[in-house]
Every structure is written in C-alpha cells, then in structure tokens.
Amino acid sequence: MSKLRVHSFSISLDGYGAGPDQGLDNPLGVGGETLHEWVFPTRTFQQMYGNDSGTTGINDDFAVRGFANIGAWIMGRNMFGPVRGSWPDDDWKGWWGDNPPYHCPVFVLTNHPRASIVMDGGTTFHFVTDGIHAALKRAMEAADGRDIRIGGGVATVRDYLRARLIDEMHLAISPVLLGGGEHLFAGIDAAQLGYRCTEHVPMTDVTHVVLTKQG
Ligand SMILES: NC(=O)c1ccc[n+]([C@@H]2O[C@H](COP(=O)([O-])OP(=O)(O)OC[C@H]3O[C@@H](n4cnc5c(N)ncnc54)[C@H](OP(=O)(O)O)[C@@H]3O)[C@@H](O)[C@H]2O)c1
C-alpha cells in the first residue's frame, strides 16, 4: 500500500513554514530561506542542481530519505509558483527550470484549470481542480505501488494533515523566528488526529522530528 509522506519540511521555532509576502522575489516568503539553511549544503540538495559536492551525514541522510521509493508528488499551486488567480498564459512552468528535480508525475492542487506540462527528465505537472482526495487518487495510480510525497506548501500539508491522510511527516525545525507567514499547526491538534513523534534528532543547525500516524 502506498504511503503519503512529507519530508524535509522546514519550519521556524514559532511554527511557520513560509514567511509573509511570497512572490517572485521571495518564493519562500520574506525570511523563508532561513528555514532551509540546513539542507542547502547537503549532497542531496547540491546534486539536485548539478553540483558534485555537498555534505554527508545526518542532515543529508534525512534529505536522502525524502527521495526513496517516491512515485509521484503532490504540491499546492503557491509552491509551484508566484502566479495567483487564473493563469494568464502558459509561460510559468515552475521554479525549477527545464529539468525539475521530481522525475515523476507531480499533481498541483489549484482552483484554476490548466493543461498538463511535460518537462525534461520525466517530470510532468498535472493540475488538479477537484480537491485533495482526487489528487491523492491520481497520484496513487501514477505511483503504481510506490509512495507519494507532498512537497508543500503549508496549506497543502495542513489540508492532508487535517484529513489524517499523511502517514509520515519529517519536519526540520530551524533555529529562527519568522513572526509571521504560513503557520503549519495553527488550529490543528495533531495529537488528537493520532500523530506521535517517533524520531527526534537534534543537530547544531536544525532539529529533525518525524511524526507518524498511529493505528
Ligand atoms: N517549509 C518548507 O519546507 C516548504 C516546502 C514547500 C514549500 N514551501 C513554501 O510554502 C509556500 C507555499 O505554501 P502556501 O501555504 O502558501 O500554499 P500551497 O499549499 O503551496 O498552495 C495553496 C494553494 O493551492 C491551491 N489549493 C490548495 N488546496 C486546494 C484544493 N483542495 N483544491 C483546489 N486548490 C487548492 C489554492 O490555489 P488557487 O485557489 O489559487 O488555485 C491554494 O491557495 C511557498 O512560499 C513555498 O516556497 C515551504
């Protein structure tokens, strides 16, 4: 049975997964890039962008886990790009260039229909307008027995969490305060939903936490 997994999802000490005022100049929201400083130097992240170098060790091990046995991704439309509302044209094809680091089908949740986009390297972006369950069904079919990873952003993770559909969620808690933006847990009682912390690994630059759905 395919699992629905979240990996390397970085949050601030005060619980934000993106800073305020997302846009072309601030894809992660203002200050949002500070959440990810633990992952930028890792070999996994560097290799995604064609560099041979990069750090190994616990941070990289967590990054590596996020790509194991993944057959499809789901993401929200705000993670896909800065365009909001109706798509003015077909120009925007994601932040990641011609060969995005997914290499499998990616299902983008949106209320605004758009034709699928075939990219280099095996990534195809499909736009899903009929909700999180429909996106998950399509992702499961595409994954063909492998797992599905939710890339983000915050609203998308929250929706799947509230619906108790996420099986495993790796959070990377970064030692920064954002003070505003998109909050991951506001109004969500993850314990009541049946999630428990099954791993926690403190590093000097980040604390890794894994939440697993019980039962
Ligand atoms: N902290 C991390 O590790 C991490 C990881 C990934 C991304 N991010 C960041 O998170 C931010 C984006 O997060 P976000 O919370 O703003 O948004 P998001 O989850 O990426 O996207 C939300 C949008 O997706 C569409 N959508 C979501 N659920 C839907 C549904 N059920 N049916 C139809 N459409 C649906 C809606 O767009 P429309 O109605 O406009 O179509 C909604 O406004 C970015 O800054 C990104 O860089 C952070």
Q: pLDDT digit string (tens) for 133-163?
A: 999 999 999 999 999 999 999 999 999 999 9
The alpha carbon of 58 and the centre of ligand 1 are apart by a number of angstroms equal to 28
What is the spatial distance between Cα 105 and Cα 112, in angstroms, rounded to a whole number?
19
Of 36, 78, 83, the one to substitute when testing ligand 1's pocket (max ligand atoms within 8 A of C-beta) is 78
Chain centroid offset of residue 92 CA: 19
Res 49: pLDDT? 85
Of 156, 157, 169, the one to substitute when testing ligand 1's pocket (max ligand atoms within 8 A of C-beta) is 156
Residue 215 pLDDT > 90: no
Each residue of 45-73: pLDDT tens digit?
999 888 999 999 999 999 999 999 999 99
What is the spatial distance between Cα 102 and Cα 70, in angstroms, rounded to a whole number?
9
The alpha carbon of 82 and the centre of ligand 1 are apart by a number of angstroms equal to 10
Residue 156 in tokens: 């998308």
What is the spatial distance between Cα 174 and Cα 202, in angstroms, rounded to a whole number?
10
Each residue of 71-80: pLDDT tens digit?
999 999 999 9
What's this model's pTM, rounded to 2 decimal places?
0.98
Q: Is 105 in the pocket of ligand 1 (CB under 6 A)?
A: no
Q: Is 156 in the pocket of ligand 1 (CB under 6 A)?
A: yes
The alpha carbon of 158 and the centre of ligand 1 are apart by a number of angstroms equal to 10
Using a CB cutoff of 8 Å and minimum separation of 24, what contacts does 19-28 make? 19/178, 19/180, 19/181, 20/178, 20/180, 20/181, 22/78, 22/82, 23/82, 24/82, 27/82, 27/95
Each residue of 168-208: pLDDT tens digit?
999 999 999 999 999 999 999 999 999 999 999 999 999 99
The alpha carbon of 11 and the centre of ligand 1 are apart by a number of angstroms equal to 15
Q: Is 81 in the pocket of ligand 1 (CB under 6 A)?
A: no
Strand 182-183 versus strand 124-128 pairing type = unpaired
Torsion of CA 8, 123, 79, 211, to 10 degrees: -30
CA-80 nearest atom, ligand 1: 20
Neighbours of 185 (CB within 10 A): 15
The alpha carbon of 109 and the centre of ligand 1 are apart by a number of angstroms equal to 8
Residue 46 in tokens: 């560097």
Of 154, 171, 209, the one to substitute when testing ligand 1's pocket (max ligand atoms within 8 A of C-beta) is 154
Rounded to an integer, the average pLDDT of 25-29 is 95
Cis peptide before 32 (omega within 30 of 0): no
Strand 195-202 versus strand 105-109 pairing type = unpaired
